[in-house]
């Protein structure tokens, strides 16, 4: 049983519920960020991230910097692109718009390749776009939190390397790392950005990035300085290398308690085979999606191959809006999220099923949430 104060189960697409041991790590006593014990913890955390991303290439470089997942966008735009460069942003929802906006802030020219709501750009469309212009980067949101659409990475990477081999493949994995398979080395991905508070299962506040050796080389060959100070890899690269080598180093003060929590979470994740973790998330996702279908509801991502395993975006019955159902669910003991896609925000809700709520069946979070959803829909229909 959890030692946490009684509270509604948080089943939004992040932040998620946290394991007791992870939260306990947040109460670690204060310590110097350059002390040997903390440097050892940070170094072990960086090494564990290599295992989570499935990279054994010593040229790959993990970064853990205080900030939200959004800081990952800034790191990519400021370090891997230069003003005037063209980048191709594959659009499956709200977060592609935001990533494109981030690029434009750094005076990088972003072209979006959009798909209908609930779908993803097809490989033939992507190939055509790559042949029309020389793109420095191509970005893809692995799971778009606004739509629940899952993008396929392996085939996309093969296409990019075949058609435009100099284009770096950038993956926004904020809502996928930890619940969707990512084979960083095998799939020849150049950069994945993520955050601590979703499937990794650590409180919010850490921007986590894995960059390939090729991405680091591209950064080091820049013609212009990085266009960010705090997010500059010129400042952070030596720090991360030193920390992983268990050497104290300083550029900006990290968040020691969050690093301890991330260390605990990664230790838990890696205590079992990653294949087992991904299977458990797939099975939970299938259970949720079957229950949604049995209730007569539809998903934004209607095609099975487009459906994420860590969340489900659910169209509400005609005439029902999120403010009419979410308070009822809250009273029952579960928190879902409202819609986020600006074109249809009032028509759907989002159910997050990742991390400890899925991997610890004794919690019963998913079963109760499905029961409450069924009951809640029946109640609001009667009103």
**Local structure of 353: helix, strand or coil:** coil
Query: Max alpha carbon distance in the chain (Å)?
Result: 65
For residues 198 and 15, the answer to whether their CB atoms sit within 8 Å is: yes
Beta strands 348-352; 311-315: pairing state: antiparallel
Residues 6+ apart with CB under 8 A from 89: 96, 99, 100, 103, 110, 111, 112, 113, 138, 139
Distance, in Å, from the CA atom of 15 to the CA atom of 8, rounded to the nearest integer, reads: 13
> Taking the alpha carbons of 91, 16, 349, 300 in that order, is the dihedral positive or negative?
positive
> Would you say 279 is a known binding-site residue?
no
**Local structure of 10: helix, strand or coil:** strand
For residues 150 and 306, the answer to whether their CB atoms sit within 8 Å is: yes
Give the angle 198-204-208 at the CA atoms, nearest 5°: 70
Residue 366 Cα distances to 112, 161, 256, 356, angstroms: 35, 40, 32, 10
Residues in binding site for substrate: 350
Residues in binding site: 350
């Amino acid at each position: 049983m959890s030692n946490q104060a009684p509270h509604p189960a948080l089943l939004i697409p992040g932040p998620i519920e946290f394991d007791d041991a992870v939260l306990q790590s947040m109460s670690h006593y204060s310590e110097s960020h350059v002390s040997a014990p903390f440097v050892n913890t940070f170094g072990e955390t960086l090494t564990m991230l290599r295992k989570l991303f499935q990279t054994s290439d010593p040229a790959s470089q993990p970064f853990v910097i205080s900030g939200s997942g959004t800081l990952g966008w800034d790191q990519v735009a400021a370090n891997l692109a230069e003003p005037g460069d063209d980048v191709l942003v594959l659009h499956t929802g709200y977060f592609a718009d935001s990533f494109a906006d981030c690029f434009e802030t750094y005076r990088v020219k972003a072209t979006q390749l959009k798909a209908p709501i609930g779908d993803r750009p097809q490989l033939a469309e992507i190939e055509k776009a790559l042949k029309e212009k020389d793109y420095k980067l191509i970005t893809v949101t692995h799971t778009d939190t606004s739509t629940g659409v899952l993008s396929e990475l392996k085939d996309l990477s093969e296409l990019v390397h075949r058609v435009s081999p100099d284009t770096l493949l950038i993956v926004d994995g904020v809502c996928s790392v930890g619940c969707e398979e990512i084979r960083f080395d095998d799939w020849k991905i150049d950069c994945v950005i993520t955050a601590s508070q979703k499937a990794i299962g650590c409180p919010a506040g850490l921007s986590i990035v894995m960059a390939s050796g090729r991405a680091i080389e591209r950064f080091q060959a820049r013609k212009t300085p990085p266009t960010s100070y705090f997010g500059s890899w010129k400042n952070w690269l030596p720090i991360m290398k030193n920390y992983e080598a268990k050497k104290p180093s300083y550029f900006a003060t990290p968040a020691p308690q969050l690093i301890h929590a991330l260390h605990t979470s990664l230790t838990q994740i890696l205590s079992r085979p990653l294949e087992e973790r991904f299977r458990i998330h797939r099975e939970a996702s299938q259970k949720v999606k079957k229950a949604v279908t049995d209730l007569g509801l539809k998903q934004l991502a209607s095609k099975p191959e487009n459906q994420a395993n860590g969340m489900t975006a659910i169209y509400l019955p005609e005439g029902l809006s999120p403010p009419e159902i979410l308070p009822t669910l809250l009273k029952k003991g579960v928190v879902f999220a409202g819609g986020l896609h600006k074109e249809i925000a009032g028509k759907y809700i989002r159910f997050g099923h990742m991390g400890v709520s899925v991997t610890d069946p004794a919690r019963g979070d998913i079963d109760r949430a499905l029961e409450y959803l069924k009951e809640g829909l029946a109640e609001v229909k009667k009103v």
